Structure 1
Amino acid sequence: MKIDIKEYTYPLIEEQIARFPHSPRDESKLLVYKDGQISHQIFKQIGDFLPDGAHLVLNDTKVIPARLYFTRQTGALIEIFLLNPLQPSTVLPIVMDETREVVWHCVIGNKKKWKADEVLEGKFTLEGRSYKLWAKQGEDNAVALTWEGDWAFSKVVEAYGNIPLPPYLKRESQESDLTDYQTVYSEHEGAVAAPTAGLHFTDAVFQDLEGRGVKKSFVTLHVGAGTFMPVKEENALNHPMHSEQIIVSRQFLNEILAQEDFIIPVGTTSMRSLESMYWWGVKLIKGEDQPFSIEKLYPYQDHPPITARESFEALLKEMGDEGQLVGNTEIMIFPSYTFRVCKGLITNFHQPTSTLLLLVAALVGEETWRKIYAEAGQQGYRFLSFGDSSLLLP
């Protein structure tokens, strides 16, 4: 099996990349692909085009200021980019509540200037008082962070860190990004990139959708920096997919089972979450080890016919009294994938030769994605994280 990544590109010029979000959020452009036709709308009109019985699934992760800067006594600047927690747990809510010490796997900028046994020191301010924060290197790019005061790590990183904007924006973060690079429904801290399809939603849009009977549910996938990793392999299947953590509640599963007919994820992270949950359930039904970890090509193996309802009911049964399930996925969705849960997608316009573009192609088809992106370019749509939106209903 081979996916030639060179087939998944299109001309994208710098002027098409949105450096800042549209204001107001819900007046960005909306490309609608429905019944085989393309039309051009405004995002706040999205309720006019959602099918009857639509049930939106949104990712309520919250971006943390994961980019930390420390200055050595020599004046050298060291950048620490938090990727995945290692201690006291790999489960993000536990780590964000920690009040003493955390260890993260990181990308370290200017690492050669940071001596192995050197402890870096910084300062942050909370409630009018100044506190110290220390960073110490471990093995394999692990960094231990300790701090003064009994503050939860979520408060510390919020006070000290910087919002990690996507590298293709080619600008430093600024104060407005603290709100602009969050969805209005963000809640659970832990992502290092925003689920940007949700940036267009406002309270007014949600009120309109509720009045139309459109249901919504929230799942949490903490978006990792790997979402921006370019595909460098000629065969995209050799690309090392990043693993991301998903947290699923009992309430969410019950809501999906109550109205499973027309599930439409908001963003590729919600789609990856929903489809991964299906495969978690398949693993449970098949009695496989490590049921809550989906390898990138697991869906393309031979599996018995299992419905989405059967899979989600298996997850509910496994959940027991815990109230939630926590797992990881590195699922890779590309043309030939059969969607088990999702009937459409709300998403922005993605980078050429990216795994997210492969996902869109898997949903709408090889020729259709090219037609959509060509027309978006001709109609002056803004692309990537702060860009315009699309509603795809194949």
Structure 2
Amino acid sequence: MKLRLLRCLRQQPAKPAAVMTHKEDQYPVSLDHHVLKDMAKGVRDTTVKILLLGTAESGKTTIIKQMRILHINGFTDDERREKIPEIYQNIHESILQLVGQMGVLGIDFGSCTSERSADYILSLPGSAPEYMNEEYCDHVTTLWNDVGIRACYDRSNEFPLLDSAKYFLDNFVRISDAEYIPSTEDILHSRKITTGISQITFRVPIPKSMGGGEQQFQMYDVGGQRDQRNKWIQVFEGIQAVLFLISCSEFDQNLREDPSQNRLQEALKLFRAVWQNRFLASAGLIVFLNKYDIMERKIRAGKHIVDYFPEYEDFCKRPQQDNCFGESDWTKMFIKQKLVDITQEPFKRHSRNQVDLGTSERECYYHFTVATDTRCIRDVFCDVQKMILSENVSSMGLF
């Protein structure tokens, strides 16, 4: 089945949508006349429009940051300094969560000193301090070195905690320095809830075998929380490719907004809705199975997907696959197969947003990724670019 991508020269003008500039910082959705005109051009240019979709914390905004690193000029020192409050907040929320969960999980602190540090942290407001003073730094360092806090962290799948908590707390001494300027890796690990729609525009070279020159891309990021998904429809028209992110590491976690719902189950349910959506029926679909590095660490620590997906037991009894050498490999293949099965499901139209039975003929492409690893994203996105550019050239009848 031929992937139907990039019919830029034949598409109808898209409806206006609320977008922002390429900066990652999120603001409430607002109408910018010039950016809306860019989305509505459609037939007048050959810009490739890619929409990032997925549940919250799947890594969508990190991909936007990577595009800026790879295809624009990265971050200036001023822009790096602007990220300091966000990073401070990530650290503050992480240590607050860990301290707050100690009693809930029935874990004792390792010392009276740690208990006093916990009392200090719990006495603070939810917002991070503007400056990392010596007293605050001493208490955070004491707590992160506490054996009880580490035991609490080992059970962090049982409560909401940033994936980057360990990264930032491990690097706390460096980050708390008065002269601190965030590194690129720090920025990639930083997390801020996406509540609007943001856009980044960049250009990539076209291989000489395809005619040379450059191709312009526009990538759109939208909030993945349940209460943000009603905004997605605003950017569906004019999209040539959907990049769907799913976190492989979330098989043992529940949603922040609904503690009764498994995160991976939610992601699979959302993928089904995207796959069957009639407004995206002509868009190519690429899946990034993200955060497999965190998934592998969990498995090494004794977590098993079979405890949350019992059907895994039968799956791993299949004849040995060439690329499956251990539990991590089998877990990755199991999650991928879940997605493949969804694309092969027969379905009937139950709402006006679904395509009719048998009309979803596009293929789906899968890549295992670590969104915070620039080399990984560079290599994977290079393959994605080649695929998209090849389809674009074919659609224009150049080959």
* The two structures share one fold, judged by TM-score above 0.5: no
Question: If each structure's helix is expressed as a fraction of its own residues, which one has the higher value?
Answer: 2
- The structure having more radius of gyration, on CA atoms, is 2
Taking structure 2 as the reference length, the TM-score comes to 0.31
Taking structure 1 as the reference length, the TM-score comes to 0.31
Question: If each structure's strand is expressed as a fraction of its own residues, which one has the higher value?
Answer: 1
